[in-house]
């Protein structure tokens, strides 16, 4: 080997060593809570490495920032085109860093659009991360436009990874727009075929989460099990996304303790990456909803308030609305009504009409429990009119019951105690032991509760939680 060959090897190896060292040091800094330093370190390494972009490949850029489907960002596909793909992925990593911290939405969007307008825009890894950033920023029209342009690439030139990335991103855009049936269909089609291994885990997570959103939590559990994710401690590359999805399934099923545990584990997982932005994963809101149902109102309020602070910093109405929804449920009084009203005002301006339906239903239930019947009827009627299941059906049924001689829920204190323990996942026997009652008395109180709330059993108890008081 000649001296010039050795010099060339050293030159090629230097950018890769810089990125590998940044990856190692970043983890160390984040573990000590020094997230800003970690981001600066990665930014500097990316800038230095791009002096010779052709010497860097996809895997060198993986795991520098948190991203669902991170293996797609580290894919070898698209490399070698005069360094264009490396430049695109580097820009996408910068956008992700900003989005994950929730620091500068304008700059994150700018970086993502630069990637999507660059010569490397067809690179799968860069495209994936840039469109994700636009979704986090609630720039759904721009994200959809990027997907439309990408779909113009002839089918025979697309890899399986390109095909799956495009389908999953479109599904995620539909989910963020509240078009959950379309999202379920898109994710389901990806799961039915031989999904690219880089995206199989995130496809399972997003599919399960969408199924839970439309009330199909049993199918969501099956999907998560079939994905091979069986425990919070499972060492899975998409652990955070799968924990978030399983938490959503538990919440939909009324398994609040398990939902709380998974939401908190999800937060711990993304926390190791320095992810604070609730637009990336709204784990605090989900944990707050579960904690509130378990009677841990103070904890729920702390979680929801912190999420709202972070959502305000990021600035999207969608993230703020979701946090305020959780805060309204956690407070359950006039302050909760104010939080709900602000959430409804914000979300009615966004594209996510399903989330709007949920907020209107929750607000109507809270107003009803506070005896504010006319206001309750207004918001429940608006939720019913959206047509988004299952919330519109719940709202319509409640409005019908209200029309029956001015019906309103009026549980006795003992019925409330029994219902709260049932909501916490206690069996009838456990409720009886905890309250020093017979099992038959517990069954009697639950039957009365179901009749008064107009529900059929335990599974529907979660939907009427705000009426319990």
Q: What is the pLDDT of residues 400-434, one digit of tens each?
A: 878 776 666 777 888 888 887 887 778 888 888 88
Query: Is position 439 within any domain?
Result: yes
Alpha-carbon gap, residue 25 to 9, rounded angstroms: 24
- Compute how many other C-beta atoms are within 10 angstroms of the C-beta atom of residue 290: 30
> Residue 56 is part of which domain span?
13-281
Query: Is position 203 within any domain?
Result: yes
Position 9 scores a pLDDT of 38
Burial of residue 306, with CB atoms counted within 10 A of its CB: 0-12 exposed, 13-18 middle, 19 or more buried: middle
Q: Which of 262, 281, 300 is the last residue of a domain?
A: 281
Position 288 scores a pLDDT of 94
Question: Where residue 434 sits, what CATH number does that domain have?
Answer: 1.10.10.10
Q: How far is CA 367 from CA 69, 232, 449, 465, in A?
A: 41, 37, 19, 13
Count of domains for the chain: 2
Alpha-carbon gap, residue 393 to 287, rounded angstroms: 25
Query: Is position 69 within any domain?
Result: yes
Question: Where residue 166 sits, what CATH number does that domain have?
Answer: 1.25.40.10
Position 7 scores a pLDDT of 38
Query: Is position 306 within any domain?
Result: no
Query: Is position 85 within any domain?
Result: yes
Residues 417 and 277 in one domain: no
Alpha-carbon gap, residue 9 to 3, rounded angstroms: 10
Q: Which of 223, 254, 281 is the last residue of a domain?
A: 281
Q: Which of 242, 264, 281 is the last residue of a domain?
A: 281
Using DSSP's 3-state secondary structure scheme, residue 414 falls into helix
Residues 273 and 417 in one domain: no
What residues of the chain score a pLDDT lower than 50? 1-12, 79-82, 156
Position 168 scores a pLDDT of 96
Could you please report the per-residue DSSP string of 284-324? HHHHHHHHHHTT-HHHHHHHHHHHHHHHHHH--HHHHHHHH
Alpha-carbon gap, residue 465 to 362, rounded angstroms: 9
Contact 274, 30 (CB under 8 A): yes
Give the mean pLDDT of the chain.
Answer: 83
- Compute how many other C-beta atoms are within 10 angstroms of the C-beta atom of residue 44: 12
Query: Is position 1 within any domain?
Result: no
Sign of CA dihedral 163, 193, 70, 250: positive
Position 156 scores a pLDDT of 45
Residues 275 and 419 in one domain: no
| List of residues 6+ apart from 34 with CB closer than 8 A | none
Query: Is position 396 within any domain?
Result: no
Query: Is position 189 within any domain?
Result: yes
Position 1 scores a pLDDT of 40
Helices (H), 104-159: 105-116, 124-136, 140-151
């Amino acid at each position: 080997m000649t001296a010039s060959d050795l010099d060339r090897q050293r030159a090629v190896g230097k950018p890769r060593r810089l990125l590998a060292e940044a990856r190692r040091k970043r983890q160390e800094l984040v573990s000590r809570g020094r997230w800003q330093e970690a981001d600066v370190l990665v930014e500097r390494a990316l800038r230095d490495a791009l002096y010779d972009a052709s010497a860097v490949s996809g895997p060198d850029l993986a795991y520098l920032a948190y991203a669902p489907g991170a293996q797609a960002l580290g894919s070898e596909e698209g490399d070698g085109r005069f360094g264009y793909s490396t430049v695109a992925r580097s820009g996408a990593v910068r956008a992700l860093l900003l989005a994950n911290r929730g620091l500068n939405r304008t700059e994150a969007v700018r970086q993502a659009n630069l990637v999507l307008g660059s010569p490397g825009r067809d690179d799968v890894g860069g495209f994936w991360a840039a469109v994700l950033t636009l979704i986090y920023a609630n720039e759904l029209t721009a994200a959809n436009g990027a997907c439309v342009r990408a779909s113009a690439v002839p089918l025979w030139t697309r890899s399986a990874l390109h095909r799956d990335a495009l389908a999953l991103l479109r599904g995620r855009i539909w989910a963020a727009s509240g078009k959950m049936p379309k999202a379920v269909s898109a994710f389901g089609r990806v799961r039915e075929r031989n999904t690219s291994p880089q995206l199989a885990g995130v496809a399972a997570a997003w599919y399960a989460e969408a199924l839970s959103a439309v009330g199909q939590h049993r199918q969501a559990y099956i999907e998560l099990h079939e994905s091979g994710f069986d425990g919070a401690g499972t060492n899975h590359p998409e652990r955070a996304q799968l924990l978030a999805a399983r938490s959503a399934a538990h919440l939909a099923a009324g398994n609040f303790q398990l939902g709380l545990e998974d939401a908190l584990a999800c937060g711990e997982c993304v926390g190791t990456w320095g992810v604070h932005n609730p637009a990336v994963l709204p784990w605090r809101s989900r944990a707050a909803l579960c904690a509130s149902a378990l009677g841990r109102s103070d904890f729920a309020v702390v979680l929801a308030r912190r999420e709202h602070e972070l959502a305000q910093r990021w600035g999207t109405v969608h993230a703020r609305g979701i946090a305020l929804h959780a805060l309204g449920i956690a407070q359950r009084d006039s302050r909760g009504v104010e939080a709900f009203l602000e959430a409804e005002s914000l979300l009615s301006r966004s594209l996510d009409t399903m989330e709007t339906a949920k907020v209107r239903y929750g607000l109507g239930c809270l107003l009803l429990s506070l005896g504010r019947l006319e206001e309750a009827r207004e918001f429940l009627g608006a939720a019913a009119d959206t047509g988004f299941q299952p919330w519109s059906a719940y709202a319509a049924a409640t409005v019908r019951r209200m029309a029956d001689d001015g019906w309103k829920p009026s549980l006795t204190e003992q019925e409330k105690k029994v219902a709260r323990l049932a909501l916490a996942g206690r069996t009838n026997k456990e409720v009886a032991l905890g309250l020093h009652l017979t099992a038959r008395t517990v069954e009697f109180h639950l039957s009365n509760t179901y009749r008064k709330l107009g529900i059929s059993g335990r599974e529907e108890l979660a939907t009427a939680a705000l009426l319990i008081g």
